[in-house]
Amino acid sequence: MDLFSLKSPHYSRWLLLGLLLVFTLVWFSNLESRKLFRPDEGRYAEIAREMAVSGDWITPHLNGLKYFEKPPLQYWATAAAFKLFGEHHWTARWWPATTSFACVLLIFWVGRRLYDEEAGLAAAAALGGCTWFLLNAHFNALDAGLTAFLTLALLSFLMAQRHGVTPVENRNWMLIVWAAMALAVLSKGLIGIVLPGAVLTLYILIERDWRMLTRLHLGKGLALFLFIAAPWFIAVSLLNDEFAKFFFIHEHFARFTTNVHRRTGAWWYFVPELLIGSMPWLPFIAVRLRDGWRREGERGTLQPLRLLLIWAAFIFVFFSASHSKLPSYILPIFPALALFAGVQMQRMEPKTLSRLAWGLAAIGGLLLLLILLGGEHLTRAFSKDSSPFEIVRNFAPWLLASIATFTAGAGAAAGLFRQTSRNAGIIALALGSLGAGILVMNGHNELSRLYSADQIVQEIEAEHGPFDPSAPFYSIQMHDQTLPFYLKRPVTLVQYIDEFALGLAAEPEKGIAKVEDWKSRWRALEKGYAIMNHHNYQHFTAEGLPMRLLARDPRRVIVSRQ
């Protein structure tokens, strides 16, 4: 008998609360311990830090320069956390982790309302243990927050349009939809309304449900949307003449239609992210796609599962067609797939569930065997001068533990499914995947010396004392996005532009255009610091530029002028 079945007399709400407690503790367990990952985590932590320090909550700055690539909602939330609790790793990551955690709770509640409590529990387990959703929720970037508000919009729409909803409920839920889209726009731009609008249009065309247009509350909804989203856009435009053209043309139209951001990829770019990111639920989704597409009930009634599939398919195709691609762009599809998986797994035969779970366990076992037999060779294959074997090898034990945890969870789920303990099996599979994800992130922190400036800054301060805040700090033909956060100050860019083009154009005096100009300044200094790559350090040393080596690691060198 399934201990987690609501139909079972053995079912206990206390057991469900216990699961929530375990999930909460594991979910938030490693936010502080992991160093910031460059570039995104360093970038978004530093923007928020500078906002908190300067008190300018309208115009975002990165490394002391105007930065208009994204709207400010996450900057505001992180800066507020810095002001209240201090500048820590966990306060830098609390927004994506907490909004994603709220998504798991919300999908449980909506799944329960639309179907039943067991479907809600299965959907929440699927989302909480979904690989790509889990990893991005613990990473300080903007896609998790965007996904949370898009998911709120999607799930609220399902509640607003469900069969039997009252006019008042329809209005209230649709207002939540409009508010969620406004917050999504404040999270990452116009994509927050473009994606839901396009999906709704496709759904109406496919279903020919024109009456749905009368249930969207366009007037009140648009007014609420503008009330929430418009004030910051108006304020920042009034204070910065260059904002509107850069944000709306360069960051939206040009990003999608051209290669200006140099993030191109093949048409199949997102296929690996979809296949790996939806694990361990991919097999259960795949075998039920046809059944999930079938219409349930009369034409004109909401088809939630169809809408979920349209949502996932459109977002996947939309970003596949874009000229700018990053792996996290398709993150908003995974909550929809999790709800689909939760509903469909409740409809599958226990034997089918068990066979699929055994298949996952077999894949995990093969991966374990592969790493155990050839792990050192694989590690050496991924090693190079900038990623030395002595550091990379530290990740291997964590990877083994992660795969073993996943395999154990899949094996336990297979056994539970075979005993018709459906919900217990789903939870076992989810906890195995959740544990595996946390372990692999903790293991990745073993590589922090390669992607974070935290350790090199700590080593210098331990040996030479704190950096002098009055002395200039130069970044030569490179920029480590995590360095300003750990220094608690911007650095001066030398012959480096990249994403700082707008900021340097507005305030060119904050950068140095040519290395030769920097050299003359450097020679005249009494005290200063510089970070550079190994090639430049060797070149400057050979030509006799006065420098004292403070510290070096496989990817950077920091020197002083003393």
Coil, strand or helix at 548 = strand
In tens, the pLDDT along 483-530 reads 999 999 999 999 999 999 999 999 999 999 999 999 999 999 999 999
pLDDT of residue 4: 61
Q: How many helices (H) and strands (E) does the chain have?
A: 27, 8
In tens, the pLDDT along 205-215 reads 999 999 999 99
Alpha-carbon distances, residue 307 vs 26, 157, 347, 536 (angstroms):
32, 10, 18, 55
Are the C-beta atoms of residues 7 and 346 closer than 8 Å to each other? no
Place of tokens 């206990």: 12
In tens, the pLDDT along 53-85 reads 999 999 999 999 999 999 999 999 999 999 999
Listed residue (204, 198, 205) closest to 150, CA to CA: 198
Place of tokens 């209005």: 171
Coil, strand or helix at 71 = coil
> Between the CA atoms of 275, 384, 487 and 73, what dihedral angle is there, to the nearest 10 degrees?
-10
Whole-angstrom distance, CA of residue 119 vs CA of residue 340: 9
Residue 194, phi then psi, degrees to nearest 5: -65, -45
| Interacting residues of 425 by C-beta distance below 8 A, sequence separation 6+ | 353, 354, 357, 412, 413, 414, 415, 416, 417
pLDDT of residue 251: 75
In sign, the C-alpha dihedral spanning 529, 532, 534, 536 is negative
Average pLDDT over residues 245-261: 73
Least confident interval from 40-44, 352-356, 391-395, 541-545: 391-395
Whole-angstrom distance, CA of residue 101 vs CA of residue 367: 29
- Work out whether strand 65-66 and strand 548-553 pair parallel, antiparallel, or are unpaired: unpaired
Where along the chain do its domains lie? 14-348, 352-450, 454-560
Whole-angstrom distance, CA of residue 368 vs CA of residue 283: 20
Region for 472 from its dihedrals, namely left if φ exceeds 0, alpha if ψ lies in -120 to 50, beta otherwise: beta
Are the C-beta atoms of residues 514 and 410 closer than 8 Å to each other? no
Are the C-beta atoms of residues 43 and 481 closer than 8 Å to each other? yes
Residue 267 pLDDT exceeds 70:
yes
Listed residue (561, 353, 562) closest to 474, CA to CA: 561
| Interacting residues of 262 by C-beta distance below 8 A, sequence separation 6+ | none
Least confident interval from 30-39, 91-100, 313-322, 383-392: 383-392
pLDDT of residue 484: 98
Using pLDDT thresholds of 50, 70 and 90, give the confidence band for residue 11.
low
In tens, the pLDDT along 430-466 reads 999 999 999 999 999 999 999 999 999 999 999 999 9
Whole-angstrom distance, CA of residue 406 vs CA of residue 430: 9
In tens, the pLDDT along 286-332 reads 999 999 999 888 888 999 999 999 999 999 999 999 888 999 999 99
